[in-house]
Amino acid sequence: MALPTMAVLIFFLVLPIVMIVVVSFWQATEFSIIPAFDFENYEFLFGSNVTYRVFFNTFKYALITWALTLGIGFTVAYFLAFHVRSLTWQIVLFLLCTIPFWTSNIIRMISWIPFLGRNGIANSALISWGVIDEPLDWLLFSDFAVILAFVHLYTLFMVVPIFNTMMRIDKSLIEAARDAGASGAQILWNVIIPLTKPGIMIGTIFVVTLVMGDFITVRFMSGSQSANVGRLISNDIALLAYPSASATAVVLLLTVLIVIGIMLRFVDIRKEL
């Protein structure tokens, strides 16, 4: 049984990555790609200011999206796991959370555009309520729009693992804490959050990798005004600069692996797998 699985993994996972690593050392001109073993792609990448700015931007998106999805995801999961008493309602409400996922990512993202645009629903509503006089420009094609779309797209990836971990918390632990005189906030801080850490960590890995690898959300929602590493790679590919795209991809892959490696130092998720 192990052999076919290994073959599939090697063919579809290991080989493509090896290929990317190999190509990242090749040379390219405007019209040709030359197999070689040369560090010029990496030298150019690390020598350019743009790279650092774009990586910084990528981390910024990841960090803000993480904080917001964690806040919303934890609250939703907490409500479902501890305030909804019957299992039927828990399942119904949980399925309700997943309904937006029945449509494609792109469609859900694009639907924000008429809502947030200069003459969109948000602006006209705010004007008619008298909250603002002039339409807000920063609602669409801005970092705000990018992060809003990320949060909308990826919060469920936080809800599911956290909810899953919370459902495994023995309810008698909550009673034992109350028996010991703990208030609601103390129970949350001393019992529920520590026991939910593995779920939080799995959700964090999902959200961070999804946001750091994304390019389409940033392109659409920033109106091509912001960049992250994914867009750097997609631009290179559009210019057929495969070696340069590969080098950027390798650096991004290593960065994400290092981030996850650091996170796994803090929390043991083995029990959840």
Partner 1 sequence: MTATQQQLELVSVTKRYGVTVAVDAIDHKFQPGGYACLLGPSGCGKSSTLRMIAGHEGVTDGAILLGGADISYLSPAKRGTAMMFQNYALFPHLSVIDNVAFSLKMRGDDRSGRLRKAGEMLELVDLSALGDRLPDQLSGGQQQRVALARALITRPQVLLLDEPLSALDPFLRIRMRGELRKLQRELGISFIHVTHGQDEALALADEIVVMNNAVIEQAGSARIVFNAPKTAFVAQFIGGHNVIALPQGRFAIRADAVGLLHRGMGHLQGSILAVEYQGAHVSVLARVAGDQDISALVPEATFFNDPLNPGDQVGLTWDDANLHKLTA
Which of 195, 216, 253, 267 is close enough to bind partner 1 by CB under 8 A? 195
Binding residues with partner 1: total (CB under 8 A): 17
Three-point CA angle 220, 225, 230, nearest 5°: 65
Is residue 254 near partner 1 by the rule CB under 8 A? Answer: no
Q: Kindly indicate which of the ranges 82-90, 148-156, 171-179, 246-254 contains the residues binding partner 1, using the contact rule CB under 8 A.
A: 171-179
Residues 16-27 as b/e (b if ≥16 CB within 10 A, e otherwise) read eeeebeebbbbe
Is residue 29 near partner 1 by the rule CB under 8 A? Answer: no
The contact pattern for partner 1, residues 131-170, with x = CB under 8 A and - = no contact, is ---------------------------------------x
For partner 1, the closer CB: 22 or 180: 180
Which of 48, 98, 103, 190 is close enough to bind partner 1 by CB under 8 A? 190
Distances (CA, A) of 57 to 4, 230, 267: 41, 11, 26
Is residue 268 near partner 1 by the rule CB under 8 A? Answer: no
Say how far apart CA 25 and CA 120 lie, in whole Å.
47
Least distance CB 104 / partner 1 (angstroms): 40
For partner 1, the closer CB: 4 or 181: 181
Locate tokens 């479902």: which residue? 80
Query: What end-to-end distance do the CA atoms of the chain give, in Å?
Result: 21
And the tokens for 104? 């494609």
Is residue 179 near partner 1 by the rule CB under 8 A? Answer: yes
- Give the SS3 label for residue 214: coil
Which of 9, 18, 22, 176 is close enough to bind partner 1 by CB under 8 A? 176
- Give the SS3 label for residue 27: strand
Residues 6+ apart with CB under 8 A from 235: none
Least distance CB 163 / partner 1 (angstroms): 19
Q: Confirm if 24 and 247 have CB atoms less than 8 A apart.
A: yes
Is residue 178 near partner 1 by the rule CB under 8 A? Answer: yes
Which of 173, 254, 258, 264 is close enough to bind partner 1 by CB under 8 A? 173
Say how far apart CA 246 and CA 257 lie, in whole Å.
16
Is residue 177 near partner 1 by the rule CB under 8 A? Answer: yes
Is residue 113 near partner 1 by the rule CB under 8 A? Answer: no
Residues found near partner 1 in the complex (CB under 8 A): 170, 172-173, 175-183, 186, 190-191, 194-195
